[in-house]
Copies of this chain bind each other. A is one copy, B any other.
Amino acid sequence: MAKSMQELYEERMDRYWKANHLQKPDKVPFRPCAAELAGKIAGYTAQQVTHDPDLGLDAVVKMCQAVPGIDATVVNMVFVNTSVTESYGLKYYKVPGIDLDADDSFQYIEPQTEEDAFMKVEEYDRFIEDPNEFVMNVWLPRTSKYMVPPGEQNTWKNNLAWLKNGIAIQQYFQKLGANVARMQTETGTVSSLAGALKAPFDILADKFRGFRGIAYDLHRCPDKVLKATEAVAPHMAWNCIATADPSRKVPCSHWMHRGATGFFSEEVFEKFHWPTLKMVTEQIWEAGIQTIYYAEGKWARNLKHFRQLPEQSIIFHCDKDDIYEVKRVLGDRFAISGGVPNDMLAFGEPADVKKRVKQLITDFGPDGGYLLDAEAIMQQDVKVENFIAMAQACEEYGYI
């Protein structure tokens, strides 16, 4: 008799949990991070999955129905819903279907000058004193076409923008929750993460000062950069824990940017990036939650630092690093994921993909603590047949 969705879900949750906790499940779990690819499978444009929250979430359910063998996946890997951001006038995206063609992926526009930065270099002290005050009164108004900071002349567009922010984000949260339930009941698939984290240094670099700004600041005001990471860290931890899985079964996710080895020296990583990231990760772990370190780019030189974290506190996702090297350095302490190159998924053939999956499973499966995924988030360039091949190969070879 066919398994019920509930049985399938529990089987997959067990598999996912065990692999995340360095154990050997019955099968290597397939845990893809499929963004615009889900829309491609469901028949929706990038504009539709990015701008229409119902279709964006529906695409993931349709993907789970169309491609058997997905154990766990991200309910909103297209994590920005641009109709929500447009409702309150957010400035920093190029939106598919508006600024970009309907089949392009959304893009983050980082201000390029000190003048345009969402936080000015002279504002470090205010930020350090009270990051929440800064976000509410300075940062958010600056990122919106309509919002007005305190002290300036108010406008109707300002009032409406805050109202719409409240309504639209609240509705989006509810849609997310409903879709996690839909994935479970209609497809037996686990929502692979809940609660998002950024490293304090990353959030400062990405959203407040920009990469250029922070690069200069490391020389002109290094103490302030450090204090700013320390001031914002408790907010990062608190938000991640508050929005994490209440049952503590699935991990939160840490999308890692500027700690990759191409951006800054090891000294910068050690001094500015790692201490607060470590602290935040430990706080989250103390709250009973694992963190997926989704390490975009190359991290080889910095891998050794992660060994300082409590065993099983993270799952390390490998992008451009040699996954065999990652396994050697971190595999005794943390589960690892990744291993299928996105180039292969975009330009290769199903046979290539199956061969790669078989190899990964053969090499990592017997130890446990391995989850099959592409190297990076899968967008519309991934061939659907290659994605299906990935799932099929995991079903075929994964029970070892």
Q: Which residues of A contact B (CB under 8 A)?
A: 133, 136-137, 141, 147-156, 158-160, 162-171, 174
Contact = CB atoms under 8 A, between A and B. Distances in A.
A162 B165 CA distance: 9
Nearest to A158: B154
A319 B151 CA distance: 51
Nearest to A140: B159
A239 B165 CA distance: 21
Among A147, A160, A168, residue most surrounded by chain B Cβ atoms (within 10 Å): A160
Given A166-B165, A171-B170, A149 B154 contact: yes
B158 A159 contact: yes
Contact of A153 (B137, B151, B162, B169): B151
A181 to B, nearest CB: 13
A148 B154 contact: yes
Contact of A147 (B136, B159, B166, B167): B159
Contact of A162 (B152, B166, B169): B166
A171 B172 CA distance: 12
Nearest to A174: B174
B155 A166 contact: no
Contacts of A166: 162-168, 170
A147 B160 CA distance: 12
A343 to B, nearest CB: 43
Among A152, A154, A164, A169, residue most surrounded by chain B Cβ atoms (within 10 Å): A154
Contact of A152 (B133, B136, B154, B174): B154
Contacts of A171: 170
Contacts of A149: 154
A150 B147 CA distance: 12
Given A170-B170, A170-B171, A174-B174, A156 B163 contact: no
Contacts of A163: 162-163, 165-166
Contacts of A165: 163, 166
Contacts of A160: 136, 162
A156 B150 contact: yes
A154 B156 contact: no
Contact of A136 (B136, B153, B154, B159): B159
Nearest to A156: B150
A39 to B, nearest CB: 27
Nearest to A165: B163
Nearest to A155: B150
Contacts of A162: 159-160, 162-163, 166
Contacts of A141: 159
Contact of A159 (B150, B156, B168, B169): B150
